[in-house]
A and B are shown apart, each in its own frame.
Chain A
Amino acid sequence: SAVISQKPSRDICQRGTSLTIQCQVDSQVTMMFWYRQQPGQSLTLIATANQGSEATYESGFVIDKFPISRPNLTFSTLTVSNMSPEDSSIYLCSALAGDREQYFGPGTRLTVT
């Protein structure tokens, strides 16, 4: 398995601002992902964070809104840009351990006012 930490654990932000969430894995992993869990909903994949190249975004998510960095095999960031109240959600990163199982960080609870 992999141990994953995220910072911040929670934040309250004003609309129009941006927040960068950090994800740190305790070992080198090939794949890292970012998900969103809106209130009362299940998780939705935002993008795959690719090391050394641009992230791969799912339908409905774009780089201008959710820029992602992955500078090495243990770290990634997700920025939520120009926030609106609709962006209030829990943002989770995950890492692929081995060849099939993903493990999740504790999440970042974002509230946009």
Chain B
Amino acid sequence: RKEVEQDPGPFNVPEGATVAFNCTYSNSASQSFFWYRQDCRKEPKLLMSVYSSGNEDGRFTAQLNRASQYISLLIRDSKLSDSATYLCVVSPMGGADGLTFGKGTHLIIQP
């Protein structure tokens, strides 16, 4: 079983629409959760940390469900610039550990 699983997509979404991705993780002891964004041929960039209470940053909302071991990301009012690969990332013991990455979900926003 893969440690972090994501639907690879691609998700083709019209500009202005709302899109949601989920990912699941296998290590129930995981402590820290993140969404990173990776553009083609670039390094991953931190989009947001994910907290148990859920958190929102502008058009982006992240949720964590520890009981079911899944993490979600919702993007509202999608922009062309949101086109990227979104990586679900888990850390087993907190931020001081190495990160375990999912393979990413490819999002394409269409005009």
Which residues of A are at the interface with B, using a C-beta cutoff of 8 A? 1, 30-31, 33, 35, 41-45, 48, 58, 92, 94, 96, 98-107
Residue ID in chain A nearest B102 by CB atoms = A42
A88 CA / B95 CA spacing, docked (Å): 28
Within 8 A of A (CB), among B4-26: none
What does DSSP make chain B's interface, helix, strand, loop or mixed? Answer: loop
Q: Which of B45, B87, B94, B99 contacts A99 (CB 8 A)?
A: B94
A6 CA / B14 CA spacing, docked (Å): 36
B96 touches A43 (CB 8 A): no
Residue ID in chain B nearest A107 by CB atoms = B43
Query: What residues of chain A lie closer than 8 Å to B32, measured between beta carbons?
Result: 100
Within 8 A of A (CB), among B85-111: 87, 91, 94-104
Which residues of B are at the interface with A, using a C-beta cutoff of 8 A? 32, 34, 42-46, 49, 87, 91, 94-104
Q: List 25 A-B contacts (CB under 8 A).
A: A33-B98, A35-B99, A42-B101, A42-B102, A42-B104, A43-B44, A43-B87, A45-B100, A48-B98, A58-B98, A92-B43, A94-B99, A96-B95, A98-B95, A99-B94, A99-B95, A99-B96, A100-B49, A100-B91, A100-B95, A101-B46, A103-B46, A104-B43, A104-B44, A106-B42
Query: What residues of chain A lie closer than 8 Å to B97, measured between beta carbons?
Result: 48
Query: What residues of chain A lie closer than 8 Å to B87, measured between beta carbons?
Result: 42-43
**Distance to closest chain B CB from A92 (angstroms):** 6
B43 touches A105 (CB 8 A): yes
A100 touches B46 (CB 8 A): no
A14 CA / B48 CA spacing, docked (Å): 39
A107 CA / B40 CA spacing, docked (Å): 12
A105 CA / B42 CA spacing, docked (Å): 9
Residue ID in chain A nearest B104 by CB atoms = A42
A1 CA / B46 CA spacing, docked (Å): 10
Residue ID in chain B nearest A102 by CB atoms = B99
Q: Which 7 A-B pairs have CB atoms at the shortest separation, nearest pair first?
A: A100-B95, A45-B98, A104-B43, A42-B101, A42-B103, A43-B101, A107-B43
